[in-house]
Amino acid sequence: MKLGDVKKTVYFLERNGLKKTWYAVRERLDERKGPQYEWIPPAEAELEAQRSHWKQAYFSVTFSIITPAYRTAEKYLRELIDSLQRQTYPQWELILADATEDDSVRQVVQTIQDSRIRYIHLQENAGIAGNTNQALKFAAGDYVGLLDHDDVLTQNALYEMAAQIEQGKKQGRELQMLYSDEDKCNGDRTIYFEPNKKEDFNLDLLLSNNYICHFLVMKRELMQKLGLRLEYNGAQDYDLVLRAAAELQEREESIVHIPKVLYHWRCHAASTAENPRSKLYAYEAGRRAIQDFVNRAGWKAEAVDTSHVGFYALQYQGSLFQSRQDVGAIGGRVVQNGRLIGGRMTKEGKVFYENLPVGYSGYLHRAALQQEAVAVDIRNIRVREECQDIFQRITGVPYQTVPGKEYFDAALLPQNCDLIQMSLALCAAIREAGYRVLYLPECAKKF
């Protein structure tokens, strides 16, 4: 085991006890039996095609990349700038907001001749949020992207963003926020690992964890309006995304996920990704950012930590349906012989996390997180009163719960009915009526 793994395991044990740690270690070891991740960069032919295509297609979008720097190692700074200069889409500016007390960062920048680099020396170090806000004032691009001072972008990162934005224009949509998949790399970028293959925008998953993270670009006007809040230092990006999500709740189609790794998050001994103790304040700030979203929404709920640092849950006071007028149905896990056999489903009826042992949390802990769903299993579903007429229309039976329980009594359904198709049809009808369907893993039903 790597030193980082040992640190994480010890910290997990201290927080959660032996039983949960045993499951977590077993799951981690099982994961390592699978194929190893390998980041494969785009082929040179594809990169060359991108260099030509944006000109032929008349792409006009521009990007301002904001990087707050503080005592940045020369090697990392040069690699960051190089990753921008190697972009297949060159319509960018880098705004480097340097809070270093000496001239070490400035001296490196002065050796690089590129008019797209804008160096700003800050008079004081106001933290990442404050320093980013200073740089944000100078942004001139159509969209603003955030790039940490020791990370790098893949060569196709800005092209992929620009292509999506231009496609949105053709469809009559002005995209407000875009994000990509990402992975981690070691200090010298010889090893890439832990890819974060993300989902399309999912509000309740976002309220469980900042799965959006990097690479994120946002419409300049929106980011300048929101800014970063100093009181959330450590989770300033998370707080920003949550407030953007609140701003765009009626326009969620303007939030786009690009399912490609476009960002490498460098992990070293001091980074949050490698050492969970290095920035415990960041996890606490993340929880407070969620609570702020909840309070502004008027929900009666408390954001709490889960077993895994940086992952959260909402505990609702009383009925969730009373707090959340946007939720039409809630589904939970369906468990048999200690494994998941039902719960959240894809639009084709495939069960997410199927056959996962009950004590496991799944890929990036998502099996243990509250999240929005296309559909949930009708065998463990709760339906708000206003949607119960929809329920009867789709299923042919009245909505009635199991005596003493909160979930629907599936024994009322016709014998030999197709439970998967019934679940899909019901949840589709509820969503068409304008409601969300949520998956709450803590609501388990055993067979």
In a domain, 358, yes or no: yes
> Residue 106 sits in a domain of what CATH number?
3.90.550.10
Phi-psi region of 298 (alpha: psi -120 to 50; beta: other; left: phi over 0): left
327/373 Cα distance (integer angstroms): 11
On whether both 261 and 329 belong to a single domain, the answer is: no
In a domain, 33, yes or no: no
pLDDT at res. 51: 97
Partners of 333 in beta bridges: 444
pLDDT at res. 34: 80
On whether both 257 and 336 belong to a single domain, the answer is: no
What average pLDDT does the segment 102-123 reach? 95
What average pLDDT does the segment 134-141 reach? 96
In a domain, 36, yes or no: no
* CB of 256 closer than 8 Å to CB of 173: no
pLDDT, tens digit, 9 for 90 and up, residues 357-373: 998 989 999 999 999 99
On whether both 64 and 153 belong to a single domain, the answer is: yes
On whether both 75 and 200 belong to a single domain, the answer is: yes
pLDDT at res. 416: 87
Which of 266, 298, 330 terminates a domain? The answer is: 266
In a domain, 126, yes or no: yes
pLDDT at res. 33: 81
In a domain, 12, yes or no: no
Of 308, 366, 310, 272, the closest CA to residue 24 belongs to 308
Q: How many CB atoms lie within 10 A of CB 317?
A: 11
What average pLDDT does the segment 59-66 reach? 97
pLDDT, tens digit, 9 for 90 and up, residues 422-434: 999 999 999 999 9
pLDDT at res. 12: 67
**β strands within 197-268, DSSP E:** 216-219, 255-266
In a domain, 284, yes or no: no
Residue 253's contacts (CB-CB under 8 Å, 6 or more residues apart) are 173
In a domain, 203, yes or no: yes
In a domain, 274, yes or no: no
On whether both 256 and 361 belong to a single domain, the answer is: no
For residue 130, give its domain range. Answer: 44-266
On whether both 352 and 226 belong to a single domain, the answer is: no
Which of 266, 286, 310 terminates a domain? The answer is: 266
On whether both 248 and 134 belong to a single domain, the answer is: yes
On whether both 380 and 250 belong to a single domain, the answer is: no
On whether both 262 and 339 belong to a single domain, the answer is: no
What average pLDDT does the segment 379-406 reach? 95
pLDDT at res. 1: 55
Is the N-terminal amide bond of 138 cis, ω within 30° of 0? no
Instruction: Name which of 203-212, 275-284, 341-350, 407-416 the model is least confident about.
Output: 275-284
On whether both 226 and 325 belong to a single domain, the answer is: no
Which of 234, 250, 266 terminates a domain? The answer is: 266
On whether both 233 and 336 belong to a single domain, the answer is: no
Q: How many domains does the chain have?
A: 2
pLDDT at res. 275: 59
pLDDT value at 103 more than 90: yes
pLDDT value at 273 more than 60: no
pLDDT, tens digit, 9 for 90 and up, residues 151-161: 999 999 999 99
On whether both 242 and 322 belong to a single domain, the answer is: no
| Token pair 């095609």 in the structure block, residue | 49
pLDDT, tens digit, 9 for 90 and up, residues 43-54: 999 999 999 999
Instruction: Name which of 24-33, 39-48, 114-123, 210-219 the model is least confident about.
Output: 24-33
